[in-house]
Each structure stands twice: as structure tokens, then as C-alpha cells.
Chains A and B, each alone.
Chain A
């Protein structure tokens, strides 16, 4: 059991809507990263949080935002959804800056 749980597993949203994806990490995993995986591509880094502070961001617009909570859970929020946001969103957590454990992902479809 990897200990990283993501919800929901699947989601369909309409263009322009907002979505919140959730991740629950193992106790002690202070670092959490979010990735976007489009069909046929490798995961793309969105951002990383360490002890509830964002400490790195990839090439994604500000409408992608996140939160990390003291109970080792985190959220990815996406505003003003676009069709190209359709992808698998992965959460990965680690007790430090290495050895990431990935969740199963949330499949987001924007119509």
C-alpha cells in the first residue's frame, strides 16, 4: 500500500467551470507535488508544496493553484477550465525531496 490517495478518480466538467482535486498523503510526507499527464505524454510538473508553502512551480498559468494542509492532505484547484486541461492529474508525496510516491490520479475531462 503506497499511502497516497486521490479523489475523485474521474470527473467531468464544463469549460469555464472550476474544479478541486484532492490528495491524501502519508503521515510525515511534508512534500507534495502535482503533475498533469496528457494522453500519450509523460507527467508534467505543476507545482510543489513543502510544509504548506509553495516552493516551486512549473510552466502553468495562475489559474492552477494549490493548498497543502497540516494533516498531509492537499488540493489542486483549476479555475476557468479549458478543453486542454483534460488530463490525468497525479499527486506525489515524499518525506523529503526524493523518493516520491504517486497516487493513482484523477482523470479530468473538460467538455
Chain B
């Protein structure tokens, strides 16, 4: 079974402070992990995926297979980062892949 856990429902930080959104996963195979973001009144959109090792909008995430974690980090939070963040795992099922999402963390950046 594949499972994604995001322990924090809400994370509140001040502008300019570092941000870390936690994500732990459970999967028996080799996982492919993603972070999705949903800004207010907008659709869910891909923020980054671990295999591309990109930095998007200053966010990075490193896959730690030993700790089964994929935490999302940003050194200096900006007001526009306030949004709902979902960690997701892509695993094989049948002939295709399915995304398993965590319950999400609401990030609130205060001035």
C-alpha cells in the first residue's frame, strides 16, 4: 500500500523566515514524489517533482529514502507563498500510475 503523511494541517510563518513543509511516505517500490500547490481560488498545479531536482519559486525538496521523507523547503518565505501544499506519491497500479496525496498543509505567510 502507498501512503503519504503530512503531519501539519496549518503552518504559519513570518515573511522572510525559513519554511519547511513535512512529508513522509510509505511505498514498497521505488517512489516518484511530487509537491502540488493550490493558491486561493486556483486549480491544483505541480510545483516540483523529485526526479527533476529543480528549484521552483525558491522551493526545493530532497528525497530521503532512509527516512522516507520528501520535505519541502524554502529559505525565505514570501507573502505570495501562502497556499495549500500537497505532497503526492506516484506508484504503479494495474497498467498505469496513480497519485496518492497527503491531506495537505496550509501555509500562511504573515507580514
Residues of chain A touching chain B, judged by Cβ–Cβ distance below 8 Å, are: 2, 31, 33, 35, 40-45, 48, 50, 55-58, 90, 92, 97-105
Contact = CB atoms under 8 A, between A and B. Distances in A.
Given A42-B103, A50-B96, A99-B49, 17 more contacts: A42-B86, A42-B88, A42-B104, A43-B99, A44-B101, A45-B99, A48-B94, A48-B97, A50-B95, A55-B95, A56-B94, A98-B49, A98-B97, A100-B46, A102-B36, A102-B43, A102-B44
B99 A100 contact: yes
A58 B98 contact: yes
A101 to B, nearest CB: 8
Interface of B: 4, 6, 32, 36, 43-46, 49, 86, 88, 90, 93-104
Contacts, number: 65
Dominant SS at the B interface? strand
Most buried by B among A2, A44, A90, A100: A100
Nearest to B86: A42
Contacts of B49: 98-99
A40 B6 CA distance: 13
B96 to A, nearest CB: 5
A103 B103 contact: no
Contacts of A99: 46, 49
A7 B9 CA distance: 30
B43 A103 contact: yes
Contacts of A105: 43
B90 A98 contact: yes
